[in-house]
Amino acid sequence: MSKASASNRSANVSGVTDRFANSALLRALRQEPGDGVPVWFMRQAGRSLPEYKTVRGQGTILNAIQDPERAAEITMQPIRRYGVDAAILFSDIVTPVFAVGFGIDITPGVGPTCERPFASASDLDRLRPLDPDSDLGFQTETVELLVHELEVPLIGFAGGPFTLASYLIEGKPSRDYAKVKALMMSDPRLWHQLCDRIADLAIGTLTNQVRAGASVVQLFDSWAGALRPEHYREYVLTHSTKILSAMADLGVPRIHFGINTGELLPQIAAAGAEAIGVDWRTPLGDARQRTGGRVALQGNLDPALVLAPWSVLEQEVHRVLADNAGHPGHIFNLGHGVLPQTNPDQLKRIVDLVHAVGSADGQTKGTSS
């Protein structure tokens, strides 16, 4: 198990018991039986929802993120539509890097882009420490608006070291991470200095989200699976461990996610989170074996199959649940984010089915939707 004790995991930063301590999500994170299978979707807000397109407005997504009313509304949309068991803050992994003025943007149809990518030690100064009050006021306000309104826990999040470093060094989304790996292997000292700054930014933004009321945090190291296990251990693990330990000190449960991480699961579990996100390539039973049953698992329906006819999708949902074999530490999710072309009605049917199967298994669900 993690370093956090059972008692401080159900208490939030101010030592007050989280009002969602007994929600299906938090119980699954503690691997406690008896509350059905909680379900939410990575990238459930935005992109695939028509109501998102209505409120998103002009400008880049970073403008919407900095507008608390709009960001809170976008966060709420999937809760109303799907009846999922968790909300995830509408933001992006690059928000803290943007907030300290590194010079990063989100280009429509592309993703994060930097005009002057990170290339040498002098670029470290462009990643100054976060000052939550002056840099993240919009985020604090968004979370405060949300916790007031939400009846399910809010998940706060940050980008993991490898994934954020990949955007900073490549300057755009990458397929092969050639520049990232070149810097990592040729100048390990600079790599570790960069990751240390990234870890401090992650701790800053996550702490801010938790202090404002987020009940759970997720570290998205989406692209870490591009590394072999020895390199993950040598170049990434200490930084992820630092971020997750800081969250344990706040008493908040932690989820750690990446895709293509089948070979890295033991290392990722060693970083200390209560739950590990698993993509669709690794059956949950295998993931549980590789992590020694110490962590809860989140996943792992193939997001592409949400586009298949319901008769196919329904079987896939049953298969994921069967792979988990009734283990209490399961949070149903996709193996990666919702694809933009997804039909929202299919996601709603998944939520209803997971809730129905969870109840039929004799696990009494307090608030089924």
277 belongs to the binding site for ligand 1CP (CB under 6 A)? no
Q: Could you give the string, one character per residue 148-177, with x where binding to ligand 1CP holds by CB under 6 A and - elsewhere?
A: ---------x-----x---------x----
Strand spans (E) along 242-364 = 254-257, 275-277, 296-301, 330-334
Between 140 and 174, whose beta carbon lies closer to ligand 1CP?
Answer: 174
Q: Name the active-site residue from 82, 167, 232, 235.
A: 167
Q: Under rule CB under 6 A, which residues in 193-232 are in contact with ligand 1CP?
A: 220, 222
Q: Are strands 275-277 and 296-301 parallel, antiparallel or unpaired?
A: parallel
108 belongs to the binding site for ligand 1CP (CB under 6 A)? yes
The torsion angle over the Cα atoms of residues 191, 237, 104 and 101, rounded to 10 degrees, is -80
Q: From CA 309, how far away is CA 326, in angstroms rounded?
A: 26
Which member of 83, 111, 117, 285 binds ligand 1CP (CB under 6 A)? 111
As measured in angstroms, the least distance from the Cβ of 339 to ligand 1CP is 10
Q: Could you give the string, one character per residue 76-105, with x where binding to ligand 1CP holds by CB under 6 A and - elsewhere?
A: ------------x-xxxx------------
Q: From CA 47, how far away is CA 108, in angstroms rounded?
A: 11
Between 35 and 221, whose beta carbon lies closer to ligand 1CP?
Answer: 221
Residue 350 and residue 315 in contact, taking contact as beta carbons nearer than 8 Å: no
309 belongs to the binding site for ligand 1CP (CB under 6 A)? no
> Which segment (42-50, 193-201, 271-279, 346-354) binds ligand 1CP by CB under 6 A?
42-50
Q: How many CB atoms lie within 10 A of CB 346?
A: 17
Q: Are strands 105-107 and 111-113 parallel, antiparallel or unpaired?
A: antiparallel
46 belongs to the binding site for ligand 1CP (CB under 6 A)? yes
Using alpha carbons only, give the angle 14, 91, 237 rounded to the nearest 5 degrees: 70
337 belongs to the binding site for ligand 1CP (CB under 6 A)? yes
Residue 173 and residue 110 in contact, taking contact as beta carbons nearer than 8 Å: yes
Look-up: residue for tokens 């990446």? Answer: 258
Q: Which residues are catalytic?
A: 43, 47, 56, 92, 167
Q: Residues interacting with ligand 1CP, by CB under 6 A?
A: 43-47, 61, 88, 90-93, 106, 108, 111-112, 157, 163, 173, 220, 222, 337
